[in-house]
Amino acid sequence: MSQAVSIITERVRERVRREGIDLGGDRELAGRLVRDEVRSYSERALAGTLPMLADEQGTARDVIASIVGLGPLQPLLDDPDIEEIWINAPDRVFVARGGVSEQTGIVLSPAQVRDLVERMLQSTGRRVDLSSPFVDASLPDSSRLHVTIPDVTREHWAVNIRKFTRRIAQLQALVELGSLTPLAAEFLRMCVLSGQNIVVSGATQAGKTTLLGALLSAARPSDRIVTVEETFELDVTARDVVAMQCRQPSLEGTGEITLRRLIKESLRMRPDRLVVGEVREAESLDLLIALNSGLPGACSVHANSAQDALAKLCILPLLAGRNIDASFVVPTVASVVDIVVHCELDRHGARRVTEIIAPTGEIDDGAILSTGIFSMRSGELAATGALPARMAKFRAAGLDPAVLLQPGTAAVAHAVTPVPVEETGAA
C-alpha cells in the first residue's frame, strides 16, 4: 500500500468513526467519502505538504478496495478472467486464468493475510483458529473460501478463493465454449427432463459444479429442486429451489450440521429433484437410499473416469459403518445411477466432457456394467451409436434418445435444435 493510499484510507476511517457512519459494504457511500478525501489530499499536495498523486482514480479504487473490499486482492476478484486466487505465503499469491495458473506480483504481510481472512469470514458466521484450523465458507458473491492455518500448514496461512461466475449457466453456454457438443448437450437435456439420476465425475477444477448447474437449468420450470452442499457453490435459477449448506460446530462443539443430516432433512421438503453438490464420504449412502426411493437426483464426485466414479460410489457408502457392506451397496448403485458424465481439464486449461456412460443395471464379478453413449474420437466427443439399456424413464417422459443417437446423427449434430419442454409431452 502506497503512502498516499495509506493516508487517505486512515482519514476515511477516522471520518467513519467520528460521524458514526455504517458503510456495511456500501461501495457507493464509500466511494463518495473516498472521493472527498482524495480531493482534500490533492489540494494539500498542491500546497506542497504532501506528495502529488499520479493517478487520482487509481488511488480512489485502491482506497475503496481497502475499506469495503479485500484490499490488494480486490482487483483480482473484479477481474472476470480470473477463476481462482490462492495464497501460499504472503509473498506468493497465485491466480488461475483459463485453467492455467500464474504467480502475481502482489506481496502482502502476514498481518494483511490474517486481516483479509477475518474480513471475508465476518459475514459468514464461521471461524478459523487453533481449535478449528480449517474453514470452508461462501463469500457474499457466492465465491468459495477455504483457509488452512499453522500448525496444519508448515508456516503460513493457505488461502483459496474459488470465484463464482454466472457466465456459464446453461448447457448451450458449454456448447459455445467447446466443452460439450450440441448432440451431447441435447442428450443430457433429455436425461434431465426424463428424471435420470446423473453423476458428474472428474478431477478438481475439471468443471463438475459448473456442468451440474448447467444440467439443472434444463429441468422443468415446475420442478422443485433441493440442493445440499458443504458450502454454497451451485447457482440454480429455478423458480422453486431450496439451497442448504452444512454448518460447523460452535466453540462448545455443538450445532454441527452435516451433509448426511441435510440429505435426510431434504426428503421432508417435497423435492422433485435432490442435488448433492459433491459426495466425498458416508453421505453417499444417504443419497443412494434417497434415489432408491424413486426420487430423481444428481451429484458430483471426484474420479479419474466415468467407470471409476461408479466404483467409488460403491466404496464411499461403506464409510457409514460396519453394518453396511458391498452386497447392498453395489446392486443399489447399479440400479439407481442412470447416467455418468465425466469431465476433464487438459494441460492447456480447456475443460470438456470426455465421456458419457449409462449403467446397464447388471453386475459382473463385483463391477457394474455400463454402455458407452458418448466417447472421445479424434479429439471430439461423439456418439457411439449405442442406446442406454434402461429406456423406461425416457419413454415415460415421451422422449426418444434413439432420434439423437442412431448412427448418422453425429453428422448433423450442429443441426440439432432443443425442443421446448411443452412439445416433448413431458410437461
Question: Cβ(393)–Cβ(403) under 8 Å?
Answer: no
Cα 136–Cα 139–Cα 144 angle in degrees, nearest 5: 45
Give Cβ neighbours of residue 47 (< 8 Å, ≥ 6 apart): none
In this structure, the strands spanning 273-276 and 351-364 are: unpaired
Q: Which domains does the chain have, with CATH numbers?
A: 1-69 (no CATH), 72-165 (3.30.450.90), 171-405 (3.40.50.300)
Q: Which position has the higher pLDDT, 101 or 10?
A: 101
Question: Cβ(380)–Cβ(353) under 8 Å?
Answer: no
> For 169-191, how does the pLDDT look when each residue is reduced to its tens digit (9 = 90+)?
799 999 999 999 999 999 999 99
Question: Exposure string (b/e) for 70-87, b if CB count within 10 Å is 16 or more?
Answer: bbbbbbbbeeeebbbbbb
Confidence of residue 99 (pLDDT cuts 50, 70, 90): confident
> For 342-351, how does the pLDDT look when each residue is reduced to its tens digit (9 = 90+)?
999 998 888 9
Percentages helix, strand, coil for the chain (3-state, rounded to 5) are 35, 25, 40
How would you list the strands of the sheet with 144-148, edge to edge? 100-103, 92-97, 82-89, 158-162, 144-148, 134-138
Question: Would you say residue 294 has pLDDT above 50?
Answer: yes
Question: Would you say residue 311 has pLDDT above 70?
Answer: yes
Round the average pLDDT of the chain to a whole number and report it.
Answer: 88
Region of poorest pLDDT, from 218-227, 238-247, 411-420:
411-420
Give Cβ neighbours of residue 361 (< 8 Å, ≥ 6 apart): 334, 335, 389, 390
Confidence of residue 25 (pLDDT cuts 50, 70, 90): low
Cell, residue 400 = 426418444
In this structure, the strands spanning 82-89 and 351-364 are: unpaired
Say whether the peptide bond before residue 62 is cis (omega within 30 degrees of 0): no
Question: Would you say residue 114 has pLDDT above 50?
Answer: yes
The tally of CA atoms less than 13 A away on the side-chain side of residue 124 is: 26
Question: Would you say residue 418 has pLDDT above 70?
Answer: no
Instruction: Measure the CA–CA gap between 420 and 262, rounded to whole angstroms.
Output: 33
pLDDT value of residue 167: 62
Q: Which position has the higher pLDDT, 385 or 45?
A: 385
Confidence of residue 1 (pLDDT cuts 50, 70, 90): low
pLDDT value of residue 206: 93
| Cα dihedral: 337, 342, 400, 290 (round 10) | 20
Question: Would you say residue 422 has pLDDT above 70?
Answer: no
User: 3-state DSSP call for residue 395?
Assistant: helix
Q: What is the mean pLDDT of residues 297-302?
A: 97
Residue 365: CB atoms within 10 Å? 4
Question: Cβ(20)–Cβ(27) under 8 Å?
Answer: no
Q: What is the mean pLDDT of residues 90-102?
A: 93
